[in-house]
Structure 1
Amino acid sequence: MKTTSIPLLRSAPPLSPIRPVFHSHNPLRLPSKSPALRVSADHYRIEVRRVSYRPPGTQHNLLSEVSFSLPQKSFGLIFGRSGSGKTTLLQLLAGLSKPTSGSINIQRYRNDGNPNGPPQTLSPERVGIVFQFPERYLLADTVLEEVTFGWPRQKADLALREQLALKLQFAINSVGLNTISLEEDPHSLSGGFKRRLALAIQLDLQVQMPDLLLLDEPLAGLDWRARADVVKLLKHLKNELTLLVGTIKSGGSIMEDGNGRDAKGRTPTYMMLQVPFPVPLFA
């Protein structure tokens, strides 16, 4: 049965970005404690219910009746041919566009499995998104300036500066950028490290950890070594975040039959992540 179901722009640079509380020659000289994360006995699910999207002024849906549920700290994969609506769905989840119909909510549950209150609309402030080829949108002269691009312009008190420094430490360490100098030119980094930098930017933007991190074709344009590097990073991040990745179904891939191999018997890179929640899209 045929179904039709289921880039990075930033604002102008701040005039006077807050500088971290450590010296540039020792960029990881930060407070030793870890950033405070929310602690709760509850858990949540990202719930997409019968979402359709029709661009204004057109007669045809790009997405029709898409439904899925993504548990907290899980890894989801959206795959389909070019034009099947993968990027459109990610944009809807990020709040960059609004569904024509349907809902995108975050539902919190108690440990007994019952809902903990009514579902809430997924707030764009709680979602991070990394578009395809994010390195095309790097603007700053150093890695440090790039990661702190979205920091407040005005001078902050000590408590806020410490909070920002701890967030920066967490973002840098989580994506493995602590092995390079933060004074390095972002454009001189390898493809794999540029993708790491794009992820660090998203982790550093939110005051709290995002409820959902979206990635559009995170392996596009990378050589095999860089791909393996990014896959390893995503395997690490899925222990801390809820991830949803969009990728093209190509090369005769038949991942939807559950055997995890393409038409030539090769194991697709994404299957290394043991994706439990595939969402196939067909144009």
Structure 2
Amino acid sequence: MASSVFAFNPLTGRRAREPVTPIAPKSRSSLNFRNSHSVKFKCEHSCFEVSNVSYQPPGTELSLLNSVSFSLPEKSFGLIFGRSGSGKTTLVQLLAEISKPTSGSIYIQKYGNDGNPVQSPEPLSSGRVGIVFQFPERYFVADNVLEEVTFGWPRQKGDLQMKEHLALRLQRAINWVGLSGISLDRDPHSLSGGYKRRLALAIQLVQVPDLLILDEPLAGLDWKARADVVKLLKHLKKELTILVVSHDLKELAAIVDRSWRMEMGGILREEPLPI
């Protein structure tokens, strides 16, 4: 994968210290929108939707995901939980277009106030997804905060309008995550654990994604940093659609709008958080 959106994935163009083995990709032709009629979604405006998605590694008879379907309205917070090895990481890789599903569709659907679709579904491309993997600070590569945030930006000379546009996106991302009080010249590795996570989020938010995916966003943080990140996510869901994979259910419960359990065998079921 070459998109700069996945700034913390070692599969990107960014230098990384730990390799990640992707699922073998399938062709785009496997995304079949005709299957979407079998799932009924109840929401207004725009929804991020997954319809009948399955994944079977090439050359095997084992299905890692089985007819996964769910819907997440815009500017809401969804959480997927379940045992390790149940298929959560596989699903995240499909959503991020690191791999392609064997069957099914992943798209954005717009609805009118009457609940009916107002146009054809739009495929969710990698350029419209931001993803922060677990322990994203391990993949910081720049010498200062400004270079880290702008690492994947075009390096060619642009006109004044483009530069102003990029500057506004940078300022908005910095403000959203509460980094406005941090010097842009500061070494990213000198930041506290909580501020490193804020920086990781800022790098994704400059892209203004339709969907922001977070893999275990509280992992490895002390209690104060965890509380700060939860507070930040509560603020961000007013601006973005957020999907989290996490075992930290109690701390995130207050901001979750929809939740699903991934069962062994790659079966996803909508279910209240077991707390």
What TM-score comes out, normalization by structure 2 length? 0.80
Q: Secondary structure at 2:90's aligned position in 1? A: helix
Q: Determine the C-alpha separation between the residues in 2 that align with 1:121 and 1:151.
A: 24
Give the letter for the 2:132 counterpart. Answer: V
Residue 120 of structure 1: CA displacement? 1.8
Aligned equivalent of 1:280, options 244, 255, 261: 261
Q: Determine the C-alpha separation between the residues in 2 that align with 1:280 and 1:90.
A: 14
Residue 121 of structure 1: CA displacement? 1.3
Give the letter for the 1:8 counterpart. Answer: N
| Alpha-carbon contact 1:86-1:247 (below 8 Å) kept | no
Give the letter for the 1:70 counterpart. Answer: L
Unaligned residue ranges in structure 1 (runs of 5+) = 1-6, 14-41, 250-254, 256-267
- 1:229 maps to which residue? 228
- 1:211 maps to which residue? 210
What TM-score comes out, normalization by structure 1 length? 0.78
Q: Secondary structure at 2:219's aligned position in 1? A: coil
Residue 113 of structure 1: CA displacement? 2.1
Q: Determine the C-alpha separation between the residues in 2 that align with 1:12 and 1:154.
A: 18
- Structure 1 stretches (4+) deviating beyond 4 angstroms? none
Residue 12 of structure 1: CA displacement? 4.5
- Counterpart mapping for 1:73-92 below 5 A: 73-92=75-94
Residue 169 of structure 1: CA displacement? 0.3
Q: Determine the C-alpha separation between the residues in 2 that align with 1:54 and 1:189.
A: 41
Seq. identity, %: 68
Q: Secondary structure at 1:162's aligned position in 2? A: helix
- Counterpart mapping for 1:109-258 below 5 A: 109-204=111-206, 206=207, 209-248=208-247
Q: Does 1:270 align with 2:252?
A: yes
Q: Determine the C-alpha separation between the residues in 2 that align with 1:188 and 1:272.
A: 31
Number of residue-to-residue matches in the alignment: 228
- Spell out, residue by residue over 1:222-257, the C-alpha distance to the aligned partner (whole angstroms, 9 max, x if none): 1111100100000000000000000137xxxxx7xx
- Spell out, residue by residue over 1:52-85, the C-alpha distance to the aligned partner (whole angstroms, 9 max, x if none): 1112232211111111010010000000111111
Q: Determine the C-alpha separation between the residues in 1 that align with 2:194 and 2:70.
A: 30
Give the letter for the 1:246 counterpart. Answer: V
Q: Determine the C-alpha separation between the residues in 2 that align with 1:147 and 1:193.
A: 13
Q: Secondary structure at 2:246's aligned position in 1? A: strand
Q: Secondary structure at 1:91's aligned position in 2? A: helix
